[in-house]
Amino acid sequence: MRRLLGIGSALGLTLTAILGLFITPPDRVMGTLVRLLYVHPSVAWVAYLAFGVTALACICYLWPRTRAPFWDRLAVSSAEIGVVFCALTLATGSIWGRPTWGVWWAWDARLTTTALLLALFIGYLALRRVTVDPGARARRSAVAGLVAFADVPIVHMSVVWWNTLHQPATVLRPSLASPTVSGSMAWTLLLSFVSFTLLYGWLLMHRYQNSVLESRLEDEGMEIALAERWAEAVPSGAGR
């Protein structure tokens, strides 16, 4: 399953790169800059998806009936991927914004919300890093993650009123019947969404496996150390 996802995303991303860089035509207005379209929206989508999964996992952990270490591990795995992709979203957006808007950064609603989202989840990861006891860590970070996520709509609403410059959503607008991208561009965009989502799944499964191993290390580390120490001691004891 994991290997399949890995191969699928690698193939998809390669194909997206080829299509995006060589096959699709440049845009009439934005020229070759439009090729960022095959990276930026899908990366942003993965970031939002990852944070959404984290929030869901936090809810499932806090709900007494579904409380299980699984949700805690899923939350942290997804949050870490989310932070990376959120940073990538801001970086690619910035690269696109400089030639298009003339500035690296604009205090636009969606940019500001995304930046604050990044800060919120960096805080979440920092909190996880410094809490030692696994039970307390799981509970505190679940609350922190959920409360942070609850903040996102409020942040978004406030910054929308504050300032808006970002162009309205191109693909996910209600009237899908008349999308504003067409032909090979639309297919490449779709492919990039699918491949980045596969990549997310692949990374998530690996990261989850890592956190399983991490907690095994926490649990068994002392016992292994003790066993090794005993094993060292036995020969000398026998030799006495």
Partner 1 sequence: MFRDAALVAGKDLRVEWRSRVGAQQVLPFALVVLVIFAFALDANHNLLQTAAAGLYWVAVLFAGVLTVQRSFALEAADGLRDGLRLSGLDPAGIFLGKAAAVAGQLAVLEIFLAGGIAVLYSASLHGVVLLVLSAVLATIGLAAAGTVYGIVAAGLGVRETLLPLLLLPVVAPVLLAAGKVWEITLQSGPGAWGWMRILVIFAVVYLAAGVLAFGPLLEES
Residues forming contacts to partner 1 in the complex (CB under 8 A) are 62, 116, 119-120, 122-123, 126-127, 130-131, 133, 135-136, 139-140, 143-144, 146-148, 150-151, 154-155, 157-159, 161-162
Could you give the CA distance from residue 240 to residue 234 in angstroms, rounded to a whole number? 10
Residues 129/133/136/138 CA torsion (nearest 10 deg) = 50
Least distance in angstroms from the C-beta of 90 to partner 1: 14
Nearer to partner 1, 142 or 185 (CB): 142
Least distance in angstroms from the C-beta of 141 to partner 1: 8
Least distance in angstroms from the C-beta of 165 to partner 1: 16
Least distance in angstroms from the C-beta of 199 to partner 1: 27
Least distance in angstroms from the C-beta of 132 to partner 1: 9
Whether 184 contacts 19, CB under 8 Å: yes
Nearer to partner 1, 4 or 119 (CB): 119
Nearer to partner 1, 11 or 126 (CB): 126
Residues 187/188/194/199 CA torsion (nearest 10 deg) = 170
Which residue, 210, 215, 212, 207, is CA-closest to 54?
207
Nearer to partner 1, 137 or 206 (CB): 137
Nearer to partner 1, 31 or 153 (CB): 153
DSSP H helical ranges for the chain: 2-18, 40-62, 69-101, 109-130, 134-162, 183-239
Whether 75 contacts 61, CB under 8 Å: yes
